[in-house]
Amino acid sequence: MHAAVLEAPGRALVPSELPDPVAGPGQLLLSVRACGVCRTDLHLRDAEIEATKLPVVLGHQIVGVTDDGRRVGVPWLGWTCGECRYCLSGRENLCVRARFTGRDIDGGFAEQAVADERYCFALPDGLSDVQAAPLLCGGLIGYRALTLAGDGAVLGLYGFGSAAHIISQVAVWQGRRVFAFTRAGDARAQGFARELGCEWAGASDAPPPQELDAAIVFASAGELVPAALRALAPGGTVVCAGIHMTDIPSFPYADLWEERTIRSVANLTRRDGEELLSLASRAGIRTTVTTYALAEAEQALADLRAGRFTGSAVVVP
């Protein structure tokens, strides 16, 4: 099969021919229809997080079809032990032996993939393969971040990429007021956010029209954390939703005072996935997608790094 392979961190993905994968016990062999591109793929490619298996096929938002025509989604959470204290307390996202798709297990920038059936999701019928793929990480982990942000009415989203463009739709559907923060002067992203129902969009260092009950930081720039904290009402929460972030600059204690909280979100549980996918149709989620051929997977990562598209990128083998 053809695949785009990360041979060494810091180097371009290499279009390669690999042996067809073989499904082991409990695994599905999938013909890949679409695979979303996530910032985590870029962090692995750019050596900002550790690639534990090399060479590796990246891609952890896989829409695939089985031999008998079943369409499933494969997320980042590829396997958990079921025995550790996290698995036994409903926190399999923190499993000490977890294995992740497109990092520890070959992922979906390929014509075929295998996945443990217990971690695959049924997908809503109303969404095409390309439309559904970005839900599988941007949507799922974004949804976990939204849940951990609490149920406050005024929500700020810092960084308006794949995850934010999905989660803003969920939050607006839930009846929240959503403010989008982008790079200063990024009129295209700000216009895109308003089109999706955000009430206000502006620069990340600008004061929002009103204090936030919660903020989710999707971008990987650490300086956004104190900026988001300063925009919070007392008792509010800043949720850091990425797997990697640059160092967070120091800030005065007064900015945290009054029971403000900073927390991170790691990975997903299957329950997060089931909840988001079950509400996707009701919430009318529509993803905005730029597609790339398998041989263009490296270009997709370059365009993500440079911010050259709005919404999500999807590789279509």
CB of 137 to Zn ion, least distance (A): 3
Report the run of H or E that residue 275 belongs to, with start and end: helix 270-280
Q: Which is nearer to Zn ion, 201 or 268 (CB)?
A: 268
Q: Which is nearer to Zn ion, 95 or 215 (CB)?
A: 95
CB of 80 to Zn ion, least distance (A): 5
Q: Please give the distance of CA 15 from its chain centroid, rounded to a whole number.
A: 24
CB of 32 to Zn ion, least distance (A): 16
CB of 188 to Zn ion, least distance (A): 23
Which residues are at the interface with Zn ion (CB under 5 A)? Answer: 38, 40, 80-81, 84, 87, 95, 137
Compute the distance between CA of residue 179 and CA of residue 181 in angstroms, rounded to an integer: 7
Compute the distance between CA of residue 151 and CA of residue 112 in angstroms, rounded to an integer: 40
CB of 185 to Zn ion, least distance (A): 27
Tell me the Cα Rg of the chain.
Answer: 19
Tokens (6 digits) for 237: 């929460």
Q: Which is nearer to Zn ion, 87 or 149 (CB)?
A: 87
Q: Which is nearer to Zn ion, 244 or 263 (CB)?
A: 244
Question: How many beta carbons lie within 10 A of that of residue 118, not counting itself?
Answer: 11
CB 163 within 8 A of CB 139: yes
Task: Enter the DSSP assignment of 218.
Answer: -
Q: Which of 133, 121, 73, 80 is nearest to 104 (CA)?
A: 80
Q: Which is nearer to Zn ion, 102 or 236 (CB)?
A: 102
CB 117 within 8 A of CB 43: no
Please name the residue that has the structure tokens 């927390």.
263
Q: Which amino acid, one-letter code, is at 201?
A: A
CB of 312 to Zn ion, least distance (A): 11
Please name the residue that has the structure tokens 């995850």.
163
Q: Which is nearer to Zn ion, 81 or 233 (CB)?
A: 81
